[in-house]
Every structure is written in C-alpha cells, then in structure tokens.
Amino acid sequence: MHTASWDVLMATPEKAIIDLFYLYPMYDSSEEIKLLRFDESMLHKSVKPKKLDEFARRVNQSALTQRIEKMKKVYQL
C-alpha cells in the first residue's frame, strides 16, 4: 500500500503579519490594529522587526509599510 506524502510550507510569523495587513487594508489605524488583539508576549518572543521591514520592502507598497510601522508602534516592537 502506498501512502501519499505531503509537503507543507509554513509562513513565518513576520510573513503571516505582512499577509494579514496586505489582504486586509482596513486595519490602517492604531485603534483598528489594537482590535486585532495580537498576543503581545508571542509578538515579542517570535517576531523580528527587521524581518517585518524586509518583507514590507519586498512588497514595496507604501500603505502596507505604514500599517506595519503603526503595528510595531502599537505593540512596541
């Protein structure tokens, strides 16, 4: 019997955050970003601000970069 093998790619926390803000541009104010209720301890443990910046630069969209900067400020990253 042959079983199927599946490879799964997992996004880094930084890539997941970039995707979230890219796909949901309505989160564009500090108040709206707070409504996302990120787990602050997880953010501080797992998210690298420089990696967030690198992903944002790759997307090259100023509105996304601004949302990421607001998120970093809200959560003091």
- Is 0.75 topped by the overall pTM? yes
pLDDT tens-place string over residues 62-76: 999 999 999 999 999
Query: With helix as H, strand as E and coil as C, how does 1-69 read?
Result: CCCCCCCCCCCCHHHHHHHHHHHCCCCCCHHHHHCCCCCHHHHHHHCCHHHHHHHHHHHCCHHHHHHHH
Q: Is residue 1 part of a domain?
A: no
pLDDT tens-place string over residues 7-22: 888 889 999 999 999 9
Q: Is residue 2 part of a domain?
A: no
Number of domains into which the chain is organized: 1
**Residue 8: its pLDDT value, please?**
82
pLDDT value at 42 more than 70: yes
User: Is residue 75 helix, strand or coil?
Assistant: coil
pLDDT value at 53 more than 80: yes
Range of the domain at 65: 13-74
